[in-house]
Every structure is written in C-alpha cells, then in structure tokens.
Structure 1
C-alpha cells in the first residue's frame, strides 16, 4: 500500500496575524529567565513578538470558546468570508476540541470556558467546518486580536472528523491542537524562516514531519503517528506568553505507556515525586529525565515493514520532557535500556537487560537489576546497586555507596570518600580518589584503594588487596590473600589462610594471622613492624627482595623484638615480641635467591653481629674486617640454595 502524503501537508493555509485583543504588543526578546537561550521560543512567535489574549507577557488569561450554529452572529468577519459557507461540527468533534484545549491549559496558565452562542454573543475562539476549503487542507485559524474573527478556527468538512481520526496520535486531534496553538498566539517556525532543528518531535506547530512516525500495520497499510500534546518548544513558548500551570500533575505521578500503541507526546509536570516506568516493555528504550530532552520508548516494528524505511515509527524521540518539568525517577523494562537522570535526586531502576544508568547531578540511587549493567553515579552522593550479572559501577564525584551484587563486577569509586561492596562473585574494586572503604565479600576479589587513606576488607575468598597511596588498612579475612600496602604507612592483617603481606613503601605494620603466611620486604620499603602470632604450628616466612642478599642483612635485638636491617640503609623490619615465645616468631627467613635461615638459627647471627658495629649508611656490603669475622657464621647458618 502506498503511503499518503496527506499527513505531510496538514496545514497549508493559515490566517493572518491581527493586532492584540485586550493586550499589548511586546518587543522582541532573547531570554525568559536571564540564563537560557530561547531561540526556540522566538521561533514560535510572529517575528519574535508576543500576541496573546489577556494581559502582558507572562500573565494568565481566561478565554471563552464556542461552537457556532445556524443562528450565530458573524459581524465584521475576515477576508475569506468563511461564515458564508460554514456548518456546525459534531458533538464528537466538540468533545475532542475540548480535550485539545485542555492539552494547552494543562501546561499554561489559561482557563478555557465554553459559552453558548447567541445572535449577539460568542466565544473568543470559535470552531466550525468550512465547506469550501481546498483539497488536502485540513484547516486554518486566526491569531489573537481585537477583530471578531480573531482566534477562530476553521476545519475542512470534506474529512471524516470521527472515530480513529480523533483519537490520541491521530491527525484530527493533532490538527486541532495545532490550530489552537495559533489561536492563542503561536506561529510556525517555518514562518520565521526556520526549518533545521524544528519538526513534530519538538513542536506541534511545525510543518516538518516527525523523522520516525510512519507505522506499518499488520493489515499491510501505513499510518502516521501525530503528537497528542503540545511538544517541548510549544510548551516553552506558551508558558512564556501566559505563565505555567503549576497545579497540573503536582502530585506523585507515574507515567506508563502501552508497548503496542504508538504515541508522540511531551510531559509537563508541576511537582511531586514522579516516575517514568516502562516495566511492561521488552525492547530496549532510552529514557532521558533532563528537561527539554527527548526519550525513545521503543516500539516493535512489524517484520513485514520495509527494511529501508528509515522513517518508520520505532519509538525514536517519541517522548519529551518540558523545560522546568522535573521527573525524579525512571524504571526500565526487560530490554537493554539507557536511562539518564537529571540534576535532582533520581531513582533509576534498570530491571532486566544490559542497561546503562547515569545519575548525573544529585544524590541518586541506581539499581541495574538483572543483566550486565553499567551504572554511572555522576555528581552527588550516590547509591549504586549492580544486582544480578557482571556489572560495571562508576561512583563519580561525591561520597558514594557501590554494591556489585551477584556476578563478577568491576566497581570504581572515583572521587570522594566511597564505600564499595563487592558482593558475590569474583570482583574488582577500585577506590581511586578519596578515603574509601572496600569490602570484597564472597569470591576471589581484587581491591585497590587508590589515593588517600583507605580501608580494605577482603572477607571470603582468595583476595588481592592493594592499598595504593596513603596510610591504608588492609584486612584479608578468610582465604589465601595477597595484601600489598604500596605507598604510605599501612596496616596489613592477613587473618585466616595462607597470606602474603607486602608492606611496600612507608613504615608499615603487618600481621599475618593464622595460616602459612609470607611477609615480603624489599630495599627502600622503610621501617616495618611485623606482629606475628600463630600457635597452629604453621610455617611463616619473611622473604626479602631481589636486590638483598644474605650478607646484606644485619640481625640485632631491641628489647623483646628482633630487628633485621638492610646494611647501609635505614630499611629494617622488626618482629615484635620475638623473644616472648615461638608463637611470635617467624619460622624462616628467605632471600630471593632461595637461601633460607631458620628461626632456631637466629640467635647465632644476633650474637655474632652484636660484637660488631653495623656498616655505616651507604656501605651496602660488609667491609673486610666485618666479613672476616662474620662470613663463617653467615655461611654456617644460611642454607644456601646453591648447596
């Protein structure tokens, strides 16, 4: 079936602008609130000027309307003399006309009141059929003014103004809304020489069709979806003229849609805590809660429709949010949704599917639900929950809470003092900037504190903990963990399991806990303290770095602690309470080359070295005198890997 061009030529004749009725003509303008460019408002006003009912720009109006009959009065009528060949519209059209008027009064400070026509009185706006309108023309209307025909609307009687032609999304309803727009002061953007960037996705006053509005039905025919409300730019312009209706949808509203019914509309919401929900949709949609932005609530295109029809209705740009309207929350469906918040505190729920949720400004709550989701908190103190699936969470700026949930998740705190919880699965946690607290939870997790002073808990599983920069606290928990303090004065606690503890740069405190633990100390690592306590007869090891040989280690006693120093440097590691019993001792010392020194041999070296002074700073090898006195003791007690 070939498409009709009727929808593309809805309005090809309009009335001429008249002077104002009970109003004044406002000069050209460039700003509504002093901060936002309003070229889109200028585009819908005649030559950028204000023509309206009632008082000055920004004030409301009480406007009457009526339906002419056979006994109506037509004094001083217009140049086309429409009243000479008119007829009255049906009650069905009258009802739809009232709904179209409401679509404007819902968004603007306008009150429409129907009055009965008499031989001497009639409404400010009148609606009637014109029986001599040219083929293809649906209607025209006149702008506000003091002449009697100002505000009047004429529609073509050749069309069947009934049934589906007057329902939401129909050409009939859209035509009435469009013509009312003229009758209360709006112009076409094309009349001001503007075409690019203006179409039915953002203004019902445009001649340009919506880029994605043709619907293929299962009967083999095409239809055209029309806007059923004023659109984003229309609402901005009419509110500029009359002010906003601040009582419409001022409560807590939920905006829901039928996945099987095409629509094009814009939401105006005056207040409350509101939600856009597409939980009943199975295809991935895009929801954008920012004022003045369009969303795409996806519609399933019939498989029999032409694959090359780029303008088929698929839900692209079918939902707008008016400027100054605030929608706080959004709920996705079972598809792969993209949901973007705004500047207030949003609650965004992805539900099933691989979703992308972005909070932007405000203290937001994001929940990915089922699927491999990506969550971006943005600015503010946000709460991000991955849910089921392998998710990526990005806290952004602010003090955020991130929870991976089930699955193998990757969590980034970004800036701020964040709390990051892995949940189940093998997760990766990155605190990044700020003083963060990281919890590994179940699974074999990797935790990286990043910058500042962080707290890391590996909890269950074989975890890897990296403190990063700052004075960090690392706790391995259960499992065979690797703890690396990296830079800063850190505290490392292995707890249960066979753990590896690496203090790194800075003066660190290390406690392996139970299990066969390994402490690693390298050149340049500072002055560490090991608090080892283990009564389970496990094998604990102090392993030295690649560039430290057995003859570069100096053993001494300091009160009840054993001190092992790297000669010629200030680097040393002290084992607290060494001399208070074997439970506090490390079972063996090992170099990177494999040389091993047992705890039972320590006193041999301590006693021998007590007779000598440690080499001075900068002397990284024993001098001949020291070597001659100690080489035999060192060789006898260190079990060389080369032997």
Structure 2
C-alpha cells in the first residue's frame, strides 16, 4: 500500500480547512479503486479490537462507502482482508473498537491502514438515522487525507462530518449531534433553542473538498430526478449531489413552513416541529443541503408558509398551500404561488409569475416578465417589457416604472367590464375571442388599446394612442389635449344594420374640426385635425368598406354621419386649413344642406345654466355644458360629460363619467363605472360610493376624495392615488390604502386595516368615535415593505390631542395616528414586513423608550428587536 504526501492547498478556505500542506492520503490500489475489507481478528489485542461479525453493521459500512462513489470518481473493492494478507493486498481494513472514549479512529502507515468504530458490533438498522454511519464516513475521510476541524473565524463547519469541537459524542446508539454555529462562532438559536443536526450523508463541504481531489461523478443521478422528502422519510440531514438532468425537490407533504434554497452550497430547513416545544435544544436534523456544482431546477413547496429561493437556472417553483415567499434568482423562472397570500420575486431573467388564489404581491424584477393575476393582487413589473395577464375579478393593482419598457395588460375575464390602465402601461387588450361589452381607458403614455367583439368604449387619453375596437358598436372618446391618435376599425367585419361605431369629442365643438383624406401605401384614411392645437385623429382605411365610423359627435350638439363627413372632406379639400382655432365650414354646410345637426335622440345637451338632466333606459350621451349641473344617466351604458362648473355626475349603470373643469362630485350607485377627471390644482373632486355590490374601489386619477356613503354596514377596500387623498370608510371592516401623497384615512367602526408602503408620504389615521368593541374590533396597520428596524415611535400633540407619530427612518415617510392615547382611537396591532406584530402595550412602551433617545439619522435602529428579545427572555 502506498501513502502519498502530496496534498497541496487550493487557496479556497472552505476546502483547505480539511487539509494541511504536505499532508498524507491513502492512494488507490489500482486506477481509482480502493481495496478494503473486514479484518479477521482470530488473533490480536482482543481487549482493544474485535472482528466485525454483525451483518447490519457490515451493510451500513458498505452503504457509506457507496456514498463516496456517488459524488467522486473512485470505487471500493471489498476483499477477504485478514491479518495475514494485509501487507500484500494494500487498502484498508475495518474493525470494531472496544476502548472507552471517542467514537472511532483511523491510522495509516507504510504497509497497512485501518479504522475502527467503537462497539460497531452493537449496531442495528434502527441506529442508521442516529449519526453512527457518519462516524464511519469521518474515519474514511481521515484515510483520504482529511483532518479534524474546529471552529475557525470565517469558516462554516456544520455541513461536514469532520467537525469535532461542536460534536457531542453520546453513548453508542444515541445521537451524535453537530451543533450549528454561525461564522462568528456563535451557536445558532431559534426561539431560544440551540439548533443541532445529525448527518445521514456526507456534508456539503465534505463533497466539495473530495471533488477537488478526485473530481465530480457527473454520471450519478444524471437523468431527470425527483427528490421527494416527507416528514416520515427524512430523518437526518441529507446532502444532494446530482450529475445532470432537469431535477425537482418535492416537499409537498410537509405541513409546517419549509425554507428551501436551490443554490449549490446551501442548506434548507424542513421543520416538522413547533419551536414552542419545551427544552433548550431543537432537532433541526430534518434538513437538506445541495452540494456545490449540483444543479437543481425545480421545487414544490409544502402546506405551510414556505420560503423558497431559486438559483441561476431556469427554475419552476410552486409554493402550493400556505402564504409563501418565492425568489426566482437569475434565469428565466416560472413561479406559482398556489393557494394562500403569496409574495413572488422574479429577480433577474424573463420570468413568469402567477400568484394563484389569495391576495398576492408579485415583483417581476429585471427582464421581460409575465405577471399573472388570479386573485386580489399587487403586481410590480420592474424593468423590461412586462406582460400583465388578468384573470381575476378582484381589484388588481399594477405598479410599473416609468421608462421600464413597453408594458402590456391583457384582460382574460368577462367579469371585468371597465379597465383603467395603470400609470406607465403602454398596451391594453381584451381577449379578442370573447364577446362582451367593456371599456378600456388609457393613460398619458402612447397606448395601444385593443377591444374585443363586443360593444367597447375606448379612451386613449393623453399620448399618441392606437385604438382598435374590432367587431361590435364601439365608441371612441377624445378630449382636448389627448394627442395624435389612430383609430383602426379595419378588422371589425361589422354588421351594418346593428353595428354603429362612434367618435365622441367631449370638449371640442364642430367649429374646431378639419377633415382631410390621406393616403399611405395605397390605402386612403380620414384625418381629423383639431384647429389651433396639435391634436388629431386618423381613422385608418376609412374609405374601405368596414373601417368607417357611423357617427362623429361634438360638444356643441353636432352629430355627423358617414356621408356628411365625406362631403366635408371634399369641401375642405378645396380650401386652406385655417391657422386659427375655428372655422365655419361645418356650420355653413349643415345650414346649406338643411341637415339636422342633432340626429340622435340618445344624445342630450344642456346649456350654460345649472341643468338637471336625467337619462332614460337607453344608452345615453349627456353633455351638461357650462354651469353647475346634476347629470344622471339612468340605466344602460351612458357617457356623462359635466363640462365647466362644479358638477354632480350620478352613475347607476355602466357609465363613463367626465367631470371637466371645476370641483366635481361623482355618486356611484352602480357596479360598473369609469371616471375621467382633468388635473387642476384648484379643484377638489370627490367619489362618493353608495353601492354595496362592489367591495373594491380605487380612486381614479386626479380624484382627491373617496368615501363610502352607504348607511348599511358592508366590508370594502378603498385605495387612493398619488394625490393628497381623503379616504373614508364606513361601519364595516375596511381596508384603506392611501397610496402616495399625504393622505387622511378614516376607518370609523369595525375592524379596519390600514396599508402603508414605502414612499407613501405623510399620512394621518383617524379612528375617532369608532366605538370599539374590544372583543371583536381589531384595527391593524400593515407596513408591506418596511421592517420593524425602520420604525420610530414618539408621542405627538396635535390639536390638543395626544397622538402617536410613526416615522420611517431614512425617509420622509410617517404616519400620525390621531388621538391614539384616548380610549377608542388606538390600533390593536402594527405589523411589519419582517413578521413583527406589535400590540398596543408594546407600541406605547417603545414610544416611552424612544422618547429618551435621539432618533437615528440612518435607516434603521435595533431598539425594537432588542425590546422584543428582552421580552422573550423574560417570558421564558
């Protein structure tokens, strides 16, 4: 047998901790094969060693040696290894030790090598998960050149069987425990209990060091492998080495939350016990590790609240049940939250994120991501060209960065009949294979808006938009300043008797319009210029059979037919377009031809007085004109245009509401509505909600106030916008979100939830006169993306009321809970992103503590963590 003295250090601290320069290791007898056997101690120091005659023990040793062959390119050949032929055959022998102290030992010299395990003959198959097999692995590694390691600063040693000063060697048959220590040499403690592990396989660092010498065995588990673990089958810590293929870790049978990491060189805890169990130690052995260089692509989570991290590969990760947090990492990942309230992070790459049922938060990250909503979700696309797919009838919030790419929203449910594009979304489309009536409203971007085969209302708003209605009777709405839009009706295959497409100008009169024919690539289109502005509309391929609009309606009561529009095109072609803002061509034409300029009884016009106008059962278009008007559309699909003045627009049907100039009030009694309000810093516009059929409301752009006004108790959620909003609940259990801006949130009675996000400004919460019923009412403030270490509590006196001021360190954000120190105006809980829940007493204690200190200038403080840790120790 040859002993090599050729170990060279690699420069990698995690590997070199197992060796010392010039150390020895046993060489194979032939090729990569080691000879070995069980010694026959017919003679010898029987008081020290004895032959292994226990078949269970022999099979255990064979199994451990097989583990080595899985991860590195070596093999073991078992021979009849008696004392008489040891020096001739080479290799190593195995015996059972009878000495006291220690669990085993190994030795090697010029002619022989051997190792022993104490009381090996007492081993039984039931002992396999008690760490005894890793004593064998420990001694084999000694023969292969490994040394015992103790804690060294900067090293992580728990994931190796070579650790000795963190190991407790109990009596044989008991657990051999390797305690988990962090990189500072401190024991890892969870819920006041020290964590220990029992290895069933070679550790992560053992495999890494072995492969640095012998090379990795890429033929082991080289196919598509599913690693399924259950609480019954996973008894000890196991390390995965995988040679290739598309592989999956399945922990779907675990009931408590798992922490799973697919990156090589990591350990994952699959807890099956509650940390509240009595005792000072916690059995964390139900854990798995992934060796360096092992590529695991997919994961299926359990039934609890899981945390799963992907790696740089294209991962498919499913959270399944529970409130899960999934991280894709690099690569083009597919993340499925499953049931529960999930948080998904796509991170890098072109990812697909689906929250599943529940109230979910999806972060696309960088790359061209697809975010799929089936619940009441908040979707953050991030950078790249993102695609939002909406299947849910719940209120879905989309947050997209400006200049974050060209982003698209697709609506796949018939139950959403009114969609308003979120800020910074470019493209919106309905599923074109469905036939139902809906409306889509764009934003200030250059939008592409595609309807379906129903009767659609398409509103581009500002920006240079492309609008396409397809089949059905579509209405295109255009207002002053809406830019240079294109209407495409070329693919609608309309039915002339029933389909009637309309272009409606909300605040532009007929005297401001100029019609011309344009040609592009042999196709003739209609261009409508708004005089005195850069606004225009091009109706693509107007002069083909299916691309015309049956009516064009203006603010001053003019309704033009197809024939009239084309006649005006011919007339205007003989004249020069005026340089000013008006022309008499259309009015003169209507007078000369004797044509009725108000040909549609469903279009109603007010005057400059304070009008009260009520629509009927039809689909009405109502212009209020100047004055403080009250307009109600009645039943049907209506368009209500207030015009100048402080107008009240009342929606009972499927309505589109334009307030215009002035401080307007929108009364919502129906289930479908869309509000278009112009921004004016001098106006204060209000949404009053009277319907109980809809439970989720978001303030339309440029609306300052939103409030529930129904007298009956019902539970609803209200979300503000980027203005300084007033958000008022009712006597039910409300969820109130101010959004950006300095908002005032009022919950009144009931168990109310206040949502605050980073960057939401300086908000005020009023819970006054809420007549709390302590046993049932529980008001909660939730910080969605702010941790406890970022909060600072102080008592503040406002309007002679002692209030609670909560500042977000490192920002200008804050929340003032008015009159907190009265009997009825407190919030029962404050919850943070990192899982901290503070009670009333804890908040007031923290306010007292912080009042004695100076608020940090940085972004975090340890006061809350220290306070909770001290409280936990006192409770224990």
Asked if Structure 1 and Structure 2 have the same fold, meaning a TM-score greater than 0.5 normalized by the shorter chain, the answer is: yes
Secondary structure of the corresponding residue to residue 84 of structure 2: coil
1:543 maps to what in 2? Answer: 505
1:573 pairs with 2:537: yes
Offset, 1:292 = 1.0
1:642 pairs with 2:613: no
8 Å Cα contact 1:552-1:621 kept in structure 2: yes
8 Å Cα contact 1:443-1:462 kept in structure 2: no
8 Å Cα contact 1:466-1:486 kept in structure 2: no
Deviations 1:450-473 (A, max 9, x none): xxxxxxxxxxx3333469576x57
CA separation in 2, counterparts of 1:505 and 1:402? 25
In terms of fraction of residues, the more strand-rich structure is 2
2:139 maps to what in 1? Answer: 179
1:201 pairs with 2:201: no
1:356 pairs with 2:325: yes
CA separation in 2, counterparts of 1:107 and 1:232? 11
8 Å Cα contact 1:252-1:271 kept in structure 2: yes
1:288 maps to what in 2? Answer: 261
Offset, 1:299 = 1.6
After superposition, the CA RMSD in angstroms is 4.6
Secondary structure of the corresponding residue to residue 212 of structure 2: helix
1:4 maps to what in 2? Answer: none
Matches within 5 A, 1:103-114: 103-114=67-78
Compared CA separation, residues 475 and 163, structure 1 to 2 (3 A)? closer
8 Å Cα contact 1:525-1:571 kept in structure 2: yes
Offset, 1:562 = 7.7
CA separation in 2, counterparts of 1:241 and 1:581? 75
2:48 maps to what in 1? Answer: 85
1:141 maps to what in 2? Answer: 106
Q: Out of 46, 61, 68, which is 1:97 matched to? A: 61
Q: Out of 26, 29, 32, which is 2:10 matched to? A: 29
1:126 pairs with 2:96: no
1:313 pairs with 2:308: no
CA separation in 1, counterparts of 2:147 and 2:180? 23
1:458 maps to what in 2? Answer: none
1:422 maps to what in 2? Answer: 390
2:18 maps to what in 1? Answer: 44
Compared CA separation, residues 489 and 352, structure 1 to 2 (3 A)? closer
Offset, 1:228 = 1.3
1:332 pairs with 2:301: yes
CA separation in 1, counterparts of 2:380 and 2:319? 19
8 Å Cα contact 2:73-2:216 kept in structure 1: yes
Offset, 1:637 = 7.8
Offset, 1:229 = 1.2
1:242 maps to what in 2? Answer: 214
Compared CA separation, residues 196 and 507, structure 1 to 2 (3 A)? closer
1:152 maps to what in 2? Answer: 114
Compared CA separation, residues 49 and 429, structure 1 to 2 (3 A)? farther
Compared CA separation, residues 252 and 528, structure 1 to 2 (3 A)? closer
Deviates further, 103-112 or 534-543: 534-543
Count of paired positions:
550
Deviations 1:7-62 (A, max 9, x none): xxxxxxxxxxxxx93424233332xxxxxxx21110111x2445322279xx8342
Q: Out of 44, 64, 76, which is 2:36 matched to? A: 64
CA separation in 1, counterparts of 2:425 and 2:441? 14
Deviations 1:391-421 (A, max 9, x none): 44445555555544x4334555555566553
1:553 maps to what in 2? Answer: 512
Deviations 1:300-359 (A, max 9, x none): 2486423xx3x412467x211111222232222222222223333333232222333333
8 Å Cα contact 2:513-2:531 kept in structure 1: yes
Secondary structure of the corresponding residue to residue 141 of structure 2: helix
Secondary structure of the corresponding residue to residue 40 of structure 1: helix
8 Å Cα contact 2:462-2:483 kept in structure 1: yes
Offset, 1:235 = 0.8
Secondary structure of the corresponding residue to residue 168 of structure 1: helix
Deviations 1:545-604 (A, max 9, x none): 5xx6x49724556599886543333323366869999983436322xxxx544448989x
Offset, 1:224 = 6.7
Deviates further, 328-337 or 387-396: 387-396
Offset, 1:269 = 2.0
CA separation in 1, counterparts of 2:53 and 2:485? 93
8 Å Cα contact 1:262-1:315 kept in structure 2: yes
8 Å Cα contact 1:63-1:110 kept in structure 2: no
Compared CA separation, residues 363 and 71, structure 1 to 2 (3 A)? same
Compared CA separation, residues 25 and 541, structure 1 to 2 (3 A)? closer
2:734 maps to what in 1? Answer: none
CA separation in 1, counterparts of 2:316 and 2:558? 60
Compared CA separation, residues 408 and 351, structure 1 to 2 (3 A)? same
8 Å Cα contact 2:456-2:469 kept in structure 1: no
2:477 maps to what in 1? Answer: 519
CA separation in 1, counterparts of 2:117 and 2:545? 102
Offset, 1:443 = 5.2
Secondary structure of the corresponding residue to residue 15 of structure 2: helix
Secondary structure of the corresponding residue to residue 36 of structure 2: strand
Compared CA separation, residues 398 and 516, structure 1 to 2 (3 A)? closer
Secondary structure of the corresponding residue to residue 334 of structure 1: coil
Secondary structure of the corresponding residue to residue 65 of structure 2: helix
Q: Out of 447, 464, 468, which is 1:506 matched to? A: 464
1:168 maps to what in 2? Answer: 128
1:440 maps to what in 2? Answer: 411
Offset, 1:498 = 5.2
8 Å Cα contact 2:298-2:315 kept in structure 1: yes
Per chain length, whose mean CA-contact separation is higher, i.e. which structure has more relative contact order (CA < 8 Å, sep 6+)? Answer: 1
2:336 maps to what in 1? Answer: 367
